[in-house]
Amino acid sequence: MDKQMIIDKIQEEKIIAIVRGLAKDKLIPTAEALYAGGIRLMEITYSDDPKVPDSITGDCIQALVAHFGDKMLIGAGTVLTCEQVRLTKAMGGTFIISPNADSEVIKETCAQGLVSIPGALTPTEAVAATKDGADFVKLFPVCSLGTEYVKAIKAPLSNMKLLAVGGIDENNIRDYMKSGVCGFGIGSNIIKKDLINDGNFAAITTLAEKYVAATKGN
């Protein structure tokens, strides 16, 4: 799948499920539960704990890519270094998400042919990231400023593709769509560790279905 097709898929599907710190044996069952609920995009985050090697995240990305092929697109999150970008590419990941807008990471992502989704909050950060080659800008943490801030950002930057991340739930997701974002990153509101640890993957599927339906206005 080429880069433009991935960009289109993100805009079409809207929800990227954020998976952080999940045990490897829970990874495929959780992903299958998300897929059954209609989610087609997953972000596997790198750990900020120096004791957790990046290779663990790389292995998780590779396992998911091997399992799903093009049925579910897998990317990496909390990407802070160019080395992590290259590892993600080697493991078959298709998009790079960061909490910040690092010029070198954005440019390396573009060089590797991956979709670039850096994090930003101010117009200055968002425009700078776009100039560096970002395909989307992740407004993070969006919940700190709310939908009126998103509308204010979109007024002068109407062509910028924005993803809302941080505090998105099934009650406010429609409001953020109306404010002008084209997609979302959603973590613990869907990836509930207590349900996963209990093996209640059917409940994860139900949550995924609710969020997917909310983006479609059902």
Q: What angle is formed at CA 204 by the lines to CA 42 and CA 74, rounded to 5 degrees?
A: 10
For the question of residue 26 being annotated catalytic, the response is no
Q: Which helix (H) or strand (E) holds 42?
A: strand 41-45
Query: Are residues 23 and 196 in contact, defined by beta-carbon separation less than 8 angstroms?
Result: no
- Nearest of 137, 136, 139, 85 to residue 114 by alpha carbon: 85
pLDDT for position 1:
86
List pLDDT tens digits, range 8-45: 999 999 999 999 999 889 999 999 999 999 999 999 99
pLDDT category of residue 218 using cuts at 50, 70 and 90: very low
Q: What angle is formed at CA 21 by the lines to CA 19 and CA 211, rounded to 5 degrees?
A: 25
Burial (Cβ within 10 Å: 0-12, 13-18, ≥19) of residue 49: exposed
Average pLDDT over residues 97-109: 98
In the chain, the percentage of residues whose pLDDT exceeds 90 is 93
> Can you tell me whether residue 201 is helix, strand or coil?
helix
In the chain, the percentage of residues whose pLDDT exceeds 70 is 99
pLDDT for position 144:
87
List pLDDT tens digits, range 179-193: 999 999 999 999 999
Determine how many CB atoms are found less than 10 A away from the CB of residue 51.
5
pLDDT for position 50:
87
Phi/psi for 43 (5° steps) reads -110, 120
Do you know the residue count of the chain? 218
For the question of residue 216 being annotated catalytic, the response is no
Domains of the chain: 3-216 (3.20.20.70)
pLDDT category of residue 79 using cuts at 50, 70 and 90: very high
Pick the catalytic residue from 43, 89, 108, 161.
43
How does DSSP classify residue 144? G
Pick the catalytic residue from 9, 89, 138, 161.
138
Average pLDDT over residues 78-100: 98
